[in-house]
Amino acid sequence: MESRNIRLAVIPGDGIGTEVVAEGLKVLEAVGTKIDATHYDLGAARYHRTGETLPDAVLEELRGYDAILLGAVGDPSVPPGVLERDLLLKIRFAFDHYVNLRPVKLFPGVETPLADTPVENIDMIVVREGTEGLYAGTGGVMRRGTPYEIATQESLNTAHGVERVVRYAFEKARSRPRKKLTLVHKTNVLTYAGDLWQRTVDRVAEEYSDVTTDYSHIDAASMFFVSQPERFDVVVTDNLFGDIITDLGAAIAGGIGLAASGNINPEGTAPSMFEPVHGSAPDIAGQGKADPTATILSVAMMLDHLGLSAEAAKVEQAVADDIVERLTGWSSRTTREIGDDITERVSS
């Protein structure tokens, strides 16, 4: 990996996406990785200009990169769902990003809404299934717009799809000090899908005697994220539950400005994509108010994924040090100032 440049596709997207990605790239350069970055103009602006979301030719071109860094897409001027489904989900599905990895970690110095919680109590990683469940797009509508309308939206769960993400989660759990895996689902009501998930966890668990397994219903888990976050180390869950619970995770770990994520293709048959959890934030776009930290932490995840673990650790440490200094007052820095400060730390 060191011998050649990392080929990186960059999709800054819309709103604050472009602002935070610029800072992420600055840090990436400063940490000493050799990068060939190619920018792709995708998102609301392109959609309005050409009507295109993600042309198939561009999708195929993206396939050739080592990784993708995404800011955020979305704008109030685009009908809801268009960019999500035809751009984001299209990439996730086409590149088999079956793991959506979202760390929930409280850094020292970050204020959490949970009173008196020591930082070590909030340190978990959510492994969200990324290609199935309610996001698979199965279902349909009849008699739309009439009083007799019928809308169905089905959750698709395959033995193959569940097993591969569960195996990934067990490996993750094994690599961490606590070695604990919690399945989060709703097995008491979603009996068909829940049964497949629970049986899969039980079966795979036999190969991981060093990992402790646990189970929590999604509603109870939502409560425990707030009341007892220390219960969780690695959480494995389906696509929708994972989406929701990681917003809660972001909230307890200091907010959306710090929440990073990776859409991972573990086998490397297509590039993985790294992005902050937040969206394009039209309310603060263009004002230099966006916190680029979530993007910079996503860059650290990307470095780790590419096997550059020393560089990843360096970026994460620079963020941790920067966050500690935020305690001392200079909280009103611009997007660029935060990026510059973290860049300076990784280059020293």
Catalytic residue among 40, 186, 233, 238: 186
Measured CA distances, 24 to 21, 80, 102, 240, 282 (Å): 5, 27, 18, 28, 20
**Of residues 218-257, which lie at the interface with Mg ion (CB under 5 A)?**
243
Q: Is 275 in the site for Mg ion (CB under 5 A)?
A: no
End-to-end CA distance of the chain: 23
Q: Could you tell me which stretch among 66-74, 136-144, 218-226, 296-304 binds ligand NAI (CB under 6 A)?
A: 66-74
Q: Is 257 in the site for ligand NAI (CB under 6 A)?
A: yes
Q: Is 322 in the site for Mg ion (CB under 5 A)?
A: no
Residues 6+ apart with CB under 8 A from 296: 23, 24, 27, 315, 319, 339, 342
Catalytic residue among 41, 195, 202, 247: 247
Catalytic residue among 47, 135, 172, 304: 135
Active site residue 233: no
Q: Is 281 in the site for ligand NAI (CB under 6 A)?
A: yes
The tokens for 308 are 């550059």
Q: Which of 72, 166, 181, 296: binder of ligand NAI (CB under 6 A)?
A: 72
Which amino acid makes up residue 235? V
Burial of 127-143, coded b for 16+ CB within 10 Å and e otherwise, reads: bbbbbbbbbbeeeeeee
- As measured in angstroms, the least distance from the Cβ of 148 to ligand NAI is 31
- For tokens 């917003």, name the residue: 247
Q: Please, which contacts does 138-146 make with residues 24 or more away whose CB atoms are closer than 8 Å?
A: none
Binding residues for Mg ion, total number by CB under 5 A: 1
Q: Which of 101, 294, 301, 312: binder of ligand NAI (CB under 6 A)?
A: 294
Which amino acid makes up residue 339? G
Q: Which of 22, 256, 320, 323: binder of ligand NAI (CB under 6 A)?
A: 256
Give helix 335-347 / helix 293-305 axis angle, nearest 10°.
Answer: 40
Active site residue 123: no
290's contact among Mg ion, ligand NAI, none, with CB below 5 to 8 A by partner kind, is: ligand NAI
Name the residue nearer to Mg ion (CB basis): 132 or 243.
243
CB 95 within 8 A of CB 264: no
Active site residue 195: no
Query: Which is nearest to 95 in space by CA: 236, 240, 238, 268?
Result: 268
Q: Summarize as ranges the residues that interact with Mg ion (CB under 5 A).
A: 243
Active site residues: 135, 186, 219, 243, 247
Q: Summarize as ranges the residues that interact with ligand NAI (CB under 6 A).
A: 16, 20, 72-75, 84, 88, 256-257, 275, 278-284, 290-291, 294
